[in-house]
Amino acid sequence: MGLTLVYWWRFNVTHFSSERSGGSSFNPTMVDFSTFIFEHDLLDIPLAGGSFTWSSNRELPSWSRIDRYLVSPEWEAHYLDLIRKRLPRLCSDHFPILLDCGGLRGGSRYFKFENMWLKSEGFLDKVRQWWSSYHFYGKPSYVLACKLKSLKKVLKVWNEHVFGDVGGQKNTLFKELKGLEGVEEERELFEEERARKIQVTMDIERVSLLEEISWRQKSRALWLKEGDKCTKFFHRLANSHRRNNAIETLMIDGVTSSNQDEISNHVVKYYENVLSEQFSWRPRLDGLTFDVLGSQEVE
């Protein structure tokens, strides 16, 4: 396994002009710092809980982000929930920074159609068969909604019990291939073993393609061509999206809260108010006459 790096340092330099209050031009020091990060292939994990890590003790303080962790891609791939948090400060002009390797709070996953399912043999026929088996009555929009809800439930069960976990399948196949190669080093493989090795190699190629399609969809990097073997790149993008979408703190009624239950309840109530009907009466068009097309005009 390669060398895994984690740097923490007070660099006394910002990475971008937006990391300093009031803004500033992109100076040579920022260029050198960016070059250092690029040449060492390091990742600057987003900061949760605030935008800056230092402020001057003045009546009108200036703010900047000069404390940070820089991690290697291997470290980030090992800790999928990696996040950097700003903690409250007491007497220093610097905020304490915590690198939390399990800091992203998980929740129930929303249903998402996986593009890799389309690579499964006979998948479209299964969907067509499931869709035709549902019978609901009512308005077309109601029937469509009921069918989609029923199909979602079936797809979840099928994905878990039939399609299976792609990553787990890949690991199992690699272990089997490693075992066959170990046997091959000691003696010549039997005909059945050679056929199995060929089949396992083909299955690894197939599963690897499915894994790449899945990570490509999660990364939303649609400008890359499918099959370019950029799984690691897709993986890093998807993790970056997860960190950016995570809500660690939220301003609720003028008070900053990091309690996940309070944040969840506030978000739900907000959208309930936005999407709920506020009026008990609406004007209707009953009794009004409009010009209509005659039968010949319709034809």
One DSSP character per residue, 162-201 reads II--HHHHHHHHHHHHHHHHHHHHHSPPPHHHHHHHHHHH
Query: How big is the CA angle at 10 (ends 7 and 13), to the nearest 5 degrees?
Result: 110
What pLDDT was estimated at residue 133? 93
Query: What local confidence, expressed as pLDDT, does residue 47 receive?
Result: 81
pLDDT confidence of residue 242: 64
Please name which of 159, 136, 132, 131 lies closest in space to residue 146, comparing C-alpha atoms. 136
Distance CA 289, CA 295 (A): 17
Eight-class DSSP state of 33? H
Cα–Cα distance list, 130 to 61, 125, 138, 249 (Å)? 63, 9, 19, 42
Supply the pLDDT for residue 290.
87
State the Cα–Cα distance between residues 241 and 147, nearest whole angstrom. Answer: 31
Residue 1: per-residue pLDDT: 39
Q: What is the mean pLDDT of each run of 10 residues along the chain (299 residues)?
A: 54 80 75 83 79 77 82 75 75 80 62 82 90 91 92 88 80 86 83 88 84 69 52 61 71 82 88 81 82 91
pLDDT of residue 169: 83
